Amino acid sequence: MSHSHTRWKLSRERRVVEGHVEPPEVVAEREQIRLALALGQLVHDRRVTLGLTRAGLGERLGMDPGDVEAVELGGMLPLTADLLVRLAAALDVTVDLHVVSDGCNTVVLEERAA
């Protein structure tokens, strides 16, 4: 079993402790990826709850199933307002994206009240 991810994380943390500061664009890109992964899981869970296939959700979004898969796997970057609006309509949810200066950003899908 490989522990390379653990070593990478510890190495990165050690560099931070030693005073290494990552460029802002690297920090921003990492956060964009983290948010895309979180959104992808939420989209997948909501699609399954609604009983939709990727093709079915794709029809609602005007995307092919491969694009839906990319969204669910966190590979649809950058996250755009257009994509969030389309997802809200297609999944019948409210999308809350909370962006703050310290990087503790969150994305939440909430079912619309009946």
62-75, pLDDT tens digit by residue? 999 999 999 999 98
Residue whose pair of structure tokens reads 């669910």 in the numeric block:
72
| CATH number of the domain within which 63 lies | 1.10.260.40
Q: Is 26 exposed, middle or buried (0-12, 13-18, 19+ CB in 10 A)?
A: exposed
Distance from C-alpha of 72 to C-alpha of 54, rounded to nearest angstrom = 9
| Number of domains making up the chain | 1
Specify if 5 maps to a domain: no
- pLDDT (tens digit per residue) in 83-105: 999 999 999 999 998 888 777 88
Residue whose pair of structure tokens reads 């909501």 in the numeric block:
46
CA triple 34-51-94, angle to 5 deg: 50
Specify if 6 maps to a domain: no
DSSP E strand boundaries for 23-98: 93-98
Give the domain range for residue 53.
23-111
